[in-house]
Structure 1
Amino acid sequence: MLTDDSPHTKEFRRLLQRIRKEVQSLKSQIADLEKENSQLRTELRKIEKGQTDIFSEVSESERLAIRHQVLGLISKIDNHLEDNE
């Protein structure tokens, strides 16, 4: 039977205290990280609200012009690839 004064009991209590301190430290880190995560999520929501779709700022005529340019470039690429075959 182990007594309160045995070396094994003292070592066990010392290690148990160390574990308790480590657990408390980890709980504190978790709380800090949860707070930081919350702040980052809030900041991200603000940024997302401020963003707009690239095409929402472009008029319909500008969209058609861009589409025409893209289609023209695709056509040129296709012709170039066909010429090289």
Structure 2
Amino acid sequence: MAQLVNVAVDSLADIQSGALTLRKRGLTDQIEDVTDEIARKEDLIAQYEARLRLQYAALDGLLGQLQSQISFLQNNSSLTKKT
């Protein structure tokens, strides 16, 4: 009986082809795949953030120009009403 237990344990724990070793390798491969996917997603998020920042800066500049035009038009409108 003890010999059967030893054989079963040895087959599970065999360094090259044991079930535990194979399971560990499989899980390690999955972890590496998930880690790679996370890195790819983080790169995509960083690129998206950079695009949004550029768009925000462009919109902010446009808003400033429009506010200047509104002020100019309001000032000119007041001047024409006074004369």
- TM-score normalised to the size of structure 2? 0.62
2:30 to 18, 35, 56: 18
- Equivalent residues, number: 62
**Aligned equivalents of 2:16, 2:45: Cα separation in 1:** 39
Deviation at 1:4, TM superposition (A): 2.0
Name 1:51's counterpart in structure 2: 63
> Quick one: percent identity of the two aligned structures?
13
- TM-score normalised to the size of structure 1? 0.61
Compute the RMSD of aligned alpha carbons: 2.3
Greater fraction of residues in helix: 2
What are the within-5 Å matches in structure 2 for residues 1-85 of structure 1? 2=13, 3-52=15-64, 53=67, 56-57=71-72, 58-59=74-75, 62=78
Kindly provide the amino acid, as one letter, of the partner of residue 49 in structure 2: N
- Unaligned regions of 5+ residues in structure 1, if any? 63-85
Name 1:72's counterpart in structure 2: none
Show structure 1 runs of 4+ deviating over 4 A: none
Q: Which SS does the other structure have where 2:61 is aligned?
A: helix
